[in-house]
Chains A and B, each alone.
Chain A
C-alpha cells in the first residue's frame, strides 16, 4: 500500500475527568474514503478538531504527507491542504455565496496581503469559485447572502468551500446532516468522485451514505477505536451493532 497521507499516532485529549480521545491511531490513504463512526459524544469531532489544529492534543503525533504538523497552527495546516467542513455550518454570513467561496480560494493560494486589485474582478478568484459552487449544487445562488440561505443550502456552501481549498485531504464532519434526501444523494455522488482528488475522512451518522461510500470504517466509542474494517466487517461486528448501529446494520 502507498504511504498514508494523514497518519495519527497515539492521540490523547482529556477535558477534566473525561478522556475524549483515548490513544487513537488512524491512517488515511490516498484515494480512500475512511469513515469514522461512533455514538454521540464518542469524540469524533474532537478528533477532527485536533487534526486541523483547532485544539491541542495532550499526547500523540500527527503526520501529514510525511511531515509532523503538531506545531503548526490551524491556518498553516489549512494551507498545507487539510480542508474541513464543520458539523454546525460555519460560513461568512454577510458575504454572498460567491464571496464565501472566493475567500476559500484566496486562502488556499495564500495571497491575502494584496491591497490593490478589487477582489470581485479578480478572475483567478471568481472563476474557480463559480466552478466549485456549481459542483456543490448551488448554481444560481452565487449572489445570495449566506445568512439567508436555508439550512440545507448552507451545508452545500460548506462543501463548496471545502472543495475550493483544493485540499490534499478532506475532513468532513457530518456533511450529510440537514441535506435532505435529494441533497444527500447528490452529495454522495460528489464525494464518491472526490476521492480520486484527495482522500476523505468522513464523520457521518447517515449510514446509507457511509455504507455506500466508505472503503474502510473505523468505529470510535468513548474515545477509543474499537474496530476498523470494511463495510461488511463492520456491519457484522456485534459490538458495533449493539453500541451504535442498532437495527440499521
Chain B
C-alpha cells in the first residue's frame, strides 16, 4: 500500500541558508504522526514544504499518490490538507465568522459543528479576530482548518496558549477525528498527550530525520538527547 503522505530525503533552504538536510517520514491513512525535535530543528520548515509555502529543493513529497513538487499551495490544500499554522495567523481584520467561512469547503464540518467544539467562538462570532484573546485565536485557527474539511490535518503547535481544560478538549477532539478516519500530522511539546494519540513519531535533529518509530519505543536517553527532557 502506498503511503498517504510520504517525504523522502527532503531538503530545503531559506534563501542561501539551508534548513532541511534530508527529512523522511511516512504517514498512513487514518493515522496520527508526531513530528518532534528541539527548537529550530526544522519541524515548521517541514510542514511549510508539505503545504507548499516553501518549495523544497531535493527529495520527494507525495500526498495521496500525487507528487507535490510541481503544485502550488492552493492546489495542495485542495487535495485535502488543512493547516493550522504556527503562530495562528488568523486574518486579523476579518470577523470570526468570516475567518471560518473564507476557505470553507463542503463536508461534515460547518460552523455549528466548530462552535460545538469551541463554544467560546460562538460567543465571539462578530468580533474581528485581531482583538481575540490568544487562546481564542488558536481555536479559530483550528476551526478554520477544519472548515476546509481536510483529509489530512496538520497541527503545528496547535495547543500553544490554550487553557488546560481546552487543551484536553483538543486532544479529545483529535482522538475523535482520528476515530473518524482523519489523518493527522502533529507538532506539540506535550509528550504525554502525543503518546496517547500518535501511532508513530519522527524526530528531527538539525533538519534531518534521526529517528522513526512508535512513541513507546522512545527511551529516556533518546528523549534527553533529541528533545532535551
Chain A residues engaging chain B, CB cutoff 8 angstroms? 15, 37-46, 87-88, 148-153, 156, 174, 177-185, 205, 207, 243-248
Asked whether, in the complex, the Cβ of A180 is within 8 Å of the Cβ of B136, the reply is no
Asked whether, in the complex, the Cβ of A182 is within 8 Å of the Cβ of B229, the reply is yes
| Binding site secondary structure of chain A | helix
Asked whether, in the complex, the Cβ of A174 is within 8 Å of the Cβ of B164, the reply is no
B87 at interface (Cβ–Cβ under 8 A)?
A: yes
Asked whether, in the complex, the Cβ of A180 is within 8 Å of the Cβ of B189, the reply is yes
Asked whether, in the complex, the Cβ of A153 is within 8 Å of the Cβ of B139, the reply is no
Q: Would you list which residues of chain B between 124 and 176 have a CB under 8 Å from chain A? A: 124, 131-136, 138-139, 157, 160-168
Closest chain-B Cβ to A143's Cβ sits at a distance in Å of: 13
Asked whether, in the complex, the Cβ of A41 is within 8 Å of the Cβ of B135, the reply is yes
Q: Complex formed: what's the CA distance from A153 to B134 in Å?
A: 19
Q: Complex formed: what's the CA distance from A247 to B169 in Å?
A: 11
Asked whether, in the complex, the Cβ of A150 is within 8 Å of the Cβ of B39, the reply is yes
Asked whether, in the complex, the Cβ of B166 is within 8 Å of the Cβ of A39, the reply is yes
Asked whether, in the complex, the Cβ of B166 is within 8 Å of the Cβ of A40, the reply is yes
Asked whether, in the complex, the Cβ of B164 is within 8 Å of the Cβ of A207, the reply is yes
Q: Complex formed: what's the CA distance from A185 to B14 in Å?
A: 29
Closest chain-A Cβ to B229's Cβ sits at a distance in Å of: 5
Q: Complex formed: what's the CA distance from A174 to B138 in Å?
A: 14
A–B pairs, 17, beta carbons within 8 Å: A39-B165, A41-B133, A44-B133, A45-B134, A46-B133, A87-B161, A151-B87, A153-B39, A179-B189, A180-B227, A182-B39, A182-B227, A183-B39, A205-B164, A205-B167, A243-B165, A245-B165
Asked whether, in the complex, the Cβ of B228 is within 8 Å of the Cβ of A182, the reply is yes
Closest-by-CB residue of B relative to A155 is B39
User: Which of B44, B87, B136 is the one whose CB lies under 8 Å from A41?
Assistant: B136
Q: Complex formed: what's the CA distance from A180 to B166 in Å?
A: 19
The range of chain B's interface size is: 35 or more
Asked whether, in the complex, the Cβ of A244 is within 8 Å of the Cβ of B157, the reply is no
Q: Complex formed: what's the CA distance from A65 to B157 in Å?
A: 38
Closest-by-CB residue of A relative to B160 is A177
User: Which of B124, B132, B133 is packed against the most chain A CB atoms within 10 Å?
Assistant: B133
Q: Rank and list the top 4 A-B pairs by shortest CB-CB distance, nearest first.
A: A182-B228, A40-B135, A152-B39, A150-B40
Q: Complex formed: what's the CA distance from A12 to B121 in Å?
A: 23
User: Which of A40, A44, A151 is the one whose CB lies under 8 Å from B136?
Assistant: A40
Asked whether, in the complex, the Cβ of A247 is within 8 Å of the Cβ of B168, the reply is yes
Asked whether, in the complex, the Cβ of B228 is within 8 Å of the Cβ of A185, the reply is yes
Asked whether, in the complex, the Cβ of A244 is within 8 Å of the Cβ of B164, the reply is yes
Q: Complex formed: what's the CA distance from A182 to B41 in Å?
A: 13
Asked whether, in the complex, the Cβ of B189 is within 8 Å of the Cβ of A184, the reply is yes
Asked whether, in the complex, the Cβ of B164 is within 8 Å of the Cβ of A88, the reply is no
B62 at interface (Cβ–Cβ under 8 A)?
A: no
- List the A side residues contacting B161 at CB < 8 Å: 40, 87, 174, 177, 205
Known contacts A150-B44, A181-B228; A245/B164 CB under 8 A: yes
- List the A side residues contacting B139 at CB < 8 Å: 40
Closest-by-CB residue of B relative to A208 is B190
Asked whether, in the complex, the Cβ of A244 is within 8 Å of the Cβ of B165, the reply is yes
Closest chain-B Cβ to A156's Cβ sits at a distance in Å of: 8
Closest-by-CB residue of B relative to A37 is B163
Q: Complex formed: what's the CA distance from A152 to B40 in Å?
A: 7
Asked whether, in the complex, the Cβ of A151 is within 8 Å of the Cβ of B165, the reply is no
Known: A43-B133, A150-B44, A182-B229. 17 other contacts (CB 8 A): A40-B139, A40-B163, A46-B133, A88-B87, A88-B88, A149-B40, A152-B39, A174-B134, A177-B160, A178-B160, A181-B227, A181-B228, A183-B38, A184-B189, A205-B163, A244-B165, A245-B165
